[in-house]
Structure 1
Amino acid sequence: MTMTPAAAPPGPNPVLSLAGIARHGFLGQTGRMWREHGDTFELRLGIGSLVMAIHPDDVREVSLTQRRSFDKRRSYDGARKYLVGDGLVASTGELWRRQRKLMAPLFTPRGIQHYAQTFLEDAHRLEERWDGLAASGEVVEMGAEMMELTASIIVRTMFGTAAAADIGRLKQHVETMIRYTTRRMGPHLPDWVPTPAGRAYRVARDEVHGYLEGIIAQRQAVPTPDVTVPTGSPHVPDLLDRLMAARDDEGRPMSAKLLRDESITVFFAGHETTARTLAATWAALAANPEVAARLHAELDDVLGDRPPTVEDLRRLPYTLQVIKEVLRLYPAAPFYVRDAVGPARVGGYEVAEGTPVMLSPYYTHRHPDFWEDPERFDPDRFTPAAEAARHPQAYHPFATGERVCIGNHFALLESHLLLAVLARRFAPALVGGPPRWAMEGVLVPVGGLPMRVLARH
């Protein structure tokens, strides 16, 4: 017997929804609604509403089974307008398919191995800084420490020998653009109203666009470099070299605007999220000393007194399991949206065309039907046997389906290698109690992550 879907999912009226968000924050309120209304519910926000889908089966429906019924439409207009333009994160349709096909070879596990040396160089520079911090006992903001590290890595990976001053300037400006874009997702004044935030955004945008367009114009003025990497070659072409050399099925390169938009996208997607993952990793290790002890034992056993190489990573499985467990409990993107492009069904409910459907790694990763004692930090959830036995969509920190994050292999390799380098020698300690988490576009620790860097050896 076929069941007719209910007309609309349950949920409180807009007044209660907005009051709950004001009191508990978006992250806290959605958790409360999940516990009250179940895996599929409607969040009504005044003039608009969205459907929240938590169950892994619904994640699969939206991302795979009914993928032609969902896309990144109106919900991504702000990101397109203020941040990434036609970059891969927000593009749609034929443009997205063309760009994904062009860029996919650059981000395969083999393709990103070439950049491991950059990861190591920046990690060793941070080791030197942390030697001083460990000696002085100075308290640092761990989020800022990791932001500086990943910003340098992504700029050097993208543009090769970028100057330190350029890296710092580009990081600051892109973060201004990200903050402004995040604010535009909520109630806001029209763009034509002069505000300090609007002026700062326009300065940052013009500086970033000008910098990138200048680099692209310089490179377009010279012959395209050879982007193959012969075995043993000391030269590794940067990502911009490889983007400029890419050709579609008709032999066409990317336009200068697309090269600019994809460069911003790579910086945005490859910098902030990885930094937040690494910062959360240090907090999780500090709060779970038994996990930290096991991680340190693995590093000591495999590496001894020498720093790791990329070849060592296959012998450091628990180190990677720690990263994956951090991504489970503290995914940098706790929510992401897909817009219904036609009538669809989610969780047994009808979803009208144009309805945003929000998926939540943060809460799917805490679903008690798929995760035993879900709030406990336990890297053994990611042994090969445990991963094989789990619902494929119970874990989706990088999204899932055809729009899975193209940089997922890059992020995992970078995080795995950086943690191995730094945890071999240091064990940062929390200053104050365990952090509380909130959603501000991305997952953030309320009040930051003040920590003291302690030397292990």
Structure 2
Amino acid sequence: MSDASRIKTALVKNSIPELRSMSRLRELQHNPLQFLSTLTQEYGDIVQIKLFFWPVVIINHPDYIKHVLQENYKNYDKNVPIFNLFRPILGNGLVTNYGGESWLRQRRLMQPAFHRQRLTTLGQLISTATLQQVQHWESKAREQQPVDVAEEMMQLTLNIVGQSLFSLDITSKTTTFGTAFSQANAFLLEYFNRPFPPLSVPTRRNRNFQKDIKSLNKVVYEIVQQRRNNQSQEEDLLSMLIEARDEETGEGMSDQQLRDEVMTLLIAGHETVANALAWSWYLLSQHPEVEQRLHNELDQVLAGRTPTLEDLPQLPYTRMVFEESMRLYPPVWIIMRKSLGEDTIGDYSIPANTYVAWSTYAMHRHPDFWEQPENFYPEHFTAEQVAKRPRHAYIPFSHGPRICIGNNFAMIEAQLVLATIAQRYHMKIVPGHPVEPNPLMTLSPRHGVLMNLYPR
């Protein structure tokens, strides 16, 4: 009996509901968000499917997710199709590293750059970069020219990451980098559904993908080389990476290692926040009562001045708006692990070498844990509501030892960007412009978010 057959047999013996319908499984390829959202309604909080040749257990309960991410995290690594798919772009950076000592060394090396004390120095940088980004909106607002706020947020957050983590102004490179990544991202999702021919075969599709990788690499290697040639010592993450030495050999990181880490930080550090902000602007435009309450808070607390880091504790509704946006449209919409050994999740036995996956998109809309699961309702994040809810019902940054290293940075950045722009502009979606989620590496708006700007 093959390994796959043994795994499948073991799972069936332990009575995990199994989805066998081929038509439903095809829905996973064509509409994965809808597919994952309906599984709980039909099968409960745990179900097994077959993804190509792989048995996969899909979970959708806070206790199950907590077990995998925190209680027995050492039994679950990232050697899974979802993360391996993006290795051509991210290499062996912090996000895609399987785990163990290699990942732990990477995490320990980078952690000081994200300490709260260091983040307090970045508030002014974020607000200034945001003001610079929206300066050219003034003429567009006067001339009633719409703006794609999804694209604008991509450029802004990429610039902020460049300055805050690498002390570099990469404004001139943001368009090239963003375009290349978007195209490579879309290609990989298509390739996941149709993995043929191999990437090594020089088809037109594969050549275009390799061209995008070269464009991304060019930006990253220029960042690394610029710092190597710079005699001044910046106290930032890039310096930490370049100066890092192996405890046993004394060797520093190779250019390939540096490339993987810088690429991971550039992409993970801007793509997730940018998409969450784009969804925030869209949701605010659809809910004028929420937008008005946000404006009222900003006007009362800031009285027209640019927000600072010190203002954030006095802007709770601003935070709630952003958290609710990430609930409905979590940037990382699906997560997967592989069991290294046998385990038990809830009352169900999980064999070794089993893929376990869960959708944050589906978990964040689970009717057992959210008062208004399908509605934009920032009151989900009042202190009282948060206290009543299981911690792992809301996991936009994952959780446990492998929680996103930049989660605090992302929250500070997003709140300052949201406050800085919302106190200056009221936005409305361009009539007829389609807005729908596109589940790539992150959950992005498929056609952007085209909006008309109205100065306040």
TM-score, normalised via structure 1 length: 0.89
In 2, Cα distance between equivalents of 1:100 and 1:246: 12
In 1, Cα distance between equivalents of 2:408 and 2:260: 21
In the alignment, structure 1 residue 241 sits paired with structure 2 residue 248: no
Higher mean C-alpha displacement, 104-113 vs 53-62: 104-113
Are the equivalent residues in 1 in contact too, given 2:284–2:290 (CA < 8 A)? yes
Give a deviation string over 1:56-85, Cα, whole Å, max 9, x none: 011111111121211101325634631111
Equivalence for 2:6: none
C-alpha RMSD of matched pairs (Å): 2.4
Partner residue of 2:176 out of 169, 174, 185: 169
Equivalence for 2:3: none
In the alignment, structure 1 residue 306 sits paired with structure 2 residue 328: no
What are the ranges of 5 or more consecutive residues in structure 2 without an aligned counterpart? 1-10
Are the equivalent residues in 2 in contact too, given 1:155–1:167 (CA < 8 A)? no
Equivalence for 1:30: 36
Secondary structure of 2:330's aligned partner:
coil
Are the equivalent residues in 1 in contact too, given 2:167–2:234 (CA < 8 A)? no
In the alignment, structure 1 residue 53 sits paired with structure 2 residue 59: yes
The alignment covers a number of residue pairs equal to: 442
Change (3 A) 1:86 1:212: same
Equivalence for 1:445: 445
Change (3 A) 1:119 1:61: same
Equivalence for 1:201: 209
Equivalent residues in 2 for 1:134-173, closer than 5 Å: 134-173=141-180
Q: Counterpart of 1:239 in structure 2: which amino acid?
A: L
In the alignment, structure 1 residue 393 sits paired with structure 2 residue 392: yes
Instruction: Quote how far apart the aligned CAs of 1:198 are.
Output: 1.5
Instruction: Quote how far apart the aligned CAs of 1:343 are.
Output: 1.6
Higher mean C-alpha displacement, 381-390 vs 427-436: 427-436
In 2, Cα distance between equivalents of 1:438 and 1:348: 34
In 2, Cα distance between equivalents of 1:5 and 1:47: 16
Change (3 A) 1:133 1:211: closer
Instruction: Quote how far apart the aligned CAs of 1:87 are.
Output: 0.4
Equivalence for 1:356: 355
Change (3 A) 1:281 1:200: same
Equivalence for 1:74: 80
Q: Counterpart of 1:360 in structure 2: which amino acid?
A: S
In 2, Cα distance between equivalents of 1:75 and 1:288: 38
Higher mean C-alpha displacement, 420-429 vs 68-77: 68-77
Partner residue of 1:105 out of 107, 112, 116: 112
Change (3 A) 1:134 1:341: same
Equivalence for 1:376: 375
Equivalence for 2:7: none
In 1, Cα distance between equivalents of 2:278 and 2:310: 24
Equivalent residues in 2 for 1:212-223, closer than 5 Å: 212-220=220-228
TM-score, normalised via structure 2 length: 0.89
Equivalence for 2:401: 402
Change (3 A) 1:224 1:392: same
Are the equivalent residues in 2 in contact too, given 1:83–1:181 (CA < 8 A)? no
In 1, Cα distance between equivalents of 2:266 and 2:302: 31
Are the equivalent residues in 1 in contact too, given 2:80–2:338 (CA < 8 A)? yes
Q: Counterpart of 2:39 in structure 1: which amino acid?
A: M
Change (3 A) 1:266 1:245: same
Secondary structure of 2:386's aligned partner:
helix
In the alignment, structure 1 residue 65 sits paired with structure 2 residue 71: yes
In 1, Cα distance between equivalents of 2:410 and 2:152: 17
Instruction: Quote how far apart the aligned CAs of 1:252 are.
Output: 5.9
Are the equivalent residues in 2 in contact too, given 1:120–1:417 (CA < 8 A)? yes
Are the equivalent residues in 1 in contact too, given 2:80–2:337 (CA < 8 A)? no
